[in-house]
Structure 1
């Protein structure tokens, strides 16, 4: 995957009995990610009649609709708007909020860091420096409640998934593949490579709100020593994370 601007070919697809999916591309190119974020923002600002929920993903936007809504008419309206967005080639919208999250990297907290750095042809310190300087964005929430897909990292981070599934990584594991980062909110199996760990919990059922990240949020990791990681309970499961409101 490189950053060459692809041809965006929007389409509107059925998604179950009560859903429509507006998709811009099949791969997470930056242009397609930006188009999906802009489309979602426009729909959220002016929801079409019959829309119950609007949820951005990596290169698409899912709409949950009233089963009695005019699906055909809504599809026509969505496709027209998606084509306008695709023609405009908009940049990624600026973030409204920014998170700073403490994390430990390497060693027992990031057992795959050496392999990741070697695949990139860099030292561990050089790879981590690039990661810590990256202005990441929450591209989508998915796979599990509150779980963020963060990116995009520079092209050198276009790393494949592991050939075999790791049976379990801990809550707070920071894993990477395909220029994206996932932070697990609970212990989970994964095929992605673990390079770090945080005490931040993106989802806690008893917390209000249970899911604290939003698509479009900016995020940066700050490196701390493993024994300096705040407790997961710190700040209601935020693990020392700080939230800055930009607008």
Structure 2
């Protein structure tokens, strides 16, 4: 039986003078993302003196520490002990996650690259909409822009490359696809990913107590809606999003 843990991982690396990165893989996989999310929670629960920040990327957990209160060697020893305490690739996902249903209009002039992306995935537009609207993806990490999620993973046929060029601008709420992942944009920005859906979601609300709507580990569905339904949702502060505990 092939082990889930990839060779040479987990691995602990120093990052500058005050950072530590615990890597669970070199490329994205469900077990490695699961490990990173669960490991972060355990580090936060441990409340080690001198650790000032903890966050996750796709397959890693990052710690920022105060070198005046703890040195890298001592912190590294604690991390090695925590790593050895259980199989992080098989651990349960953290509690208090949520499932969000985010209504999405696919294609039309709002998301003009659906046909191109579907062709690259070897599907018709109808098949693509069926797949994209029913596949439940996980927020693997938040990054690039405030509150912006990377979501994965899609079925293997959606391992399509990024564009060779750059789309000059996509709007807030744009759903884009590449390399078996979706990104839902929290800001208007250029992108090399194909714009296949449009939502009325506002993921970054800086005036709220919790400015980021989504958190790593949350699950997302993008049910398909028509153009008229989307236009109605643009005046809805929630964008029609329905959230529930997992």
The answer (yes or no) to whether the contact 1:201–1:232 under 8 Å persists in 2 is no
Residues 220 and 91 (structure 1), Cα distance of their counterparts in 2 relative to 1, 3 Å cut: farther
Q: Alpha carbon RMSD of aligned pairs, Å?
A: 2.0
Gaps of 5+ in 1: none
Matches within 5 A, 1:58-73: 58-68=58-68, 69-73=70-74
Segments of 4+ in structure 1 off by > 6 A? none
Q: 2:36 matched to which residue of 1?
A: 36
2:13 alignment counterpart: 13
Contact 1:173 1:197 in 2 (8 A): yes
Find the aligned partners of 1:201 and 1:67 in 2 and give their Cα distance: 38
Counting matched residue pairs gives 240
Name the CA shift for 1:153/1:73 in 2 (closer, same or farther; >3 Å).
same
Q: Structure 2: 5+ residue runs without aligned partners? A: none
- Structure 1 residue matching 2:177: 3-state secondary structure: strand
The range that moved more, 224-233 or 109-118, is 224-233
Distance 1:88 1:124 in 2: 38
Equivalent position SS for 2:103: strand
Per-residue CA deviations over 1:4-60 (Å, capped at 9, x if unaligned) read 956151222222333211111111022211211221222222232221221111100
Give TM-score, length-normalised by structure 1.
0.89
Q: Partners in 2 of 1:239 and 1:16 — Cα distance?
A: 41
Tell me the alpha carbon deviations over residues 114-152 of structure 1, each in whole angstroms, 9 at most, x when there is no partner. 111111211111112111111111110001111001111
1:159–1:105 CA distance, 2 compared to 1 (3 A): same
Scaled by the length of structure 2, the TM-score of the pair is 0.89
CA distance in 1 between partners of 2:235 and 2:94 (Å) = 30
3-state SS of the aligned residue for 1:22? strand
Q: Give the structure 1 partner of residue 236 of structure 2.
A: 234
Counterpart-to-counterpart distance in 2, 1:59 and 1:231: 34
Distance 1:41 1:199 in 2: 31
